[in-house]
Amino acid sequence: MTEFVDLDVRPTLRAGGEPFGEILGAVKALKPGQGLRLYTTFEPVPLFHVLGSKGFSHEAREIDGGDWEVLFTPGPGAPAEGGLPTAAATPASDGEWPAPVQEMDNRDLDPPEPMVRILAATETMAKGEVLQALLCREPIFLFPELAKRGHGWRGAFEPDGTTYKVLIRIGAAAGATA
C-alpha cells in the first residue's frame, strides 16, 4: 500500500508564484513506496505528462471550491531512490548530437514568452539542427509542444541549480516525452 506525502501548492499559486520547483523537490524527497498527494487550484494536466513519463500514475478529483487533489502513485518505472531526475530526454538522446546552431538565453523572460520564442525559432531551423535555450525553470509546457512537432530534446538544470538548459533537435523524435 502506498503512503502519500501531502503537498499543498494552492497558497503559492494564489500568490502568483510558480510551484513547479516545490513539486519537484517533494517528488525528489519521496522514499520507496511513497506517493505524492498534491493540492492545487487547477487540474495540472501538464504535470500528469511529466510525472507519468517518470513512472507515476495519477488520480485527480475536483474538491471544494474548484480546487483539485491529485494522487501521484509510483509505478514500476518510477525511481526507487532519490525521486524524480531533473533531466528530460527523448529516445533521440542516444549518441552524440551536433553542436547547437542557435543559442537563446530566455532566463529574464516571463512565461509564456520563452516557449513562444523557442517554438518560433524551431520553425526556422532545418531537420537535424540543434537549438540550445537557457531558462529559469524546467519548461514542462514546452515538452508536449515539441513532441507534437516531432522534435527531440534533452534538458537538465545546470550545476548552479537555477538555470535549466534544454537542447532541441529538430525533427528528431516523433512522440517524444519529457
Q: Does 100 lie in the same domain as 57?
A: no
CATH number of the domain to which 146 belongs: 3.30.110.40
Answer whether residue 109 is part of any domain.
yes
Query: Could you tell me which residue, 5 or 1, shows the higher pLDDT?
Result: 5
Q: Does 152 lie in the same domain as 96?
A: yes
Answer whether residue 79 is part of any domain.
no
| pLDDT more than 90, % of the chain | 43
Q: Does 96 lie in the same domain as 70?
A: no
Answer whether residue 82 is part of any domain.
no
Answer whether residue 154 is part of any domain.
yes
Answer whether residue 45 is part of any domain.
yes
Helices marked H in 100-175 — which ranges?
A: 113-123, 142-148
Number of domains the chain is built from = 2
Answer whether residue 119 is part of any domain.
yes
Cell 523524435 belongs to 173
Which cell goes with 37? 498527494
Q: Does 59 lie in the same domain as 22?
A: yes
**Cα distances (angstroms) measured from residue 76 to each of 32, 53, 55, 145:** 11, 12, 7, 27
Q: Does 106 lie in the same domain as 60?
A: no
User: Which pLDDT tens digit goes with each residue over 67-97?
Assistant: 999 999 988 655 544 433 333 444 444 467 8
Answer whether residue 93 is part of any domain.
yes
The pLDDT of residue 47 is: 83
Q: Does 123 lie in the same domain as 68?
A: no
H-helix or E-strand spanning residue 137:
none
- Count of Cβ atoms closer than 10 Å to residue 84 Cβ: 23
The length of the chain in residues reads 178
Q: Does 61 lie in the same domain as 97?
A: no
User: Which pLDDT tens digit goes with each residue over 110-144?
Assistant: 888 999 999 999 999 999 999 999 999 888 889 88
Which range among 30-44, 50-64, 153-167 has the greatest average pLDDT?
30-44
**Cα distances (angstroms) measured from residue 160 to each of 41, 120, 140, 151, 164:** 30, 28, 20, 27, 9
Q: What is the 3-state secondary structure (H, E, C) of 63-109?
A: CHHHCEEEEEEECCCCCCCCCCCCCEECHHHCCCCCCCCEEEECCCC
Q: Residue 140 is part of which domain span?
A: 88-169
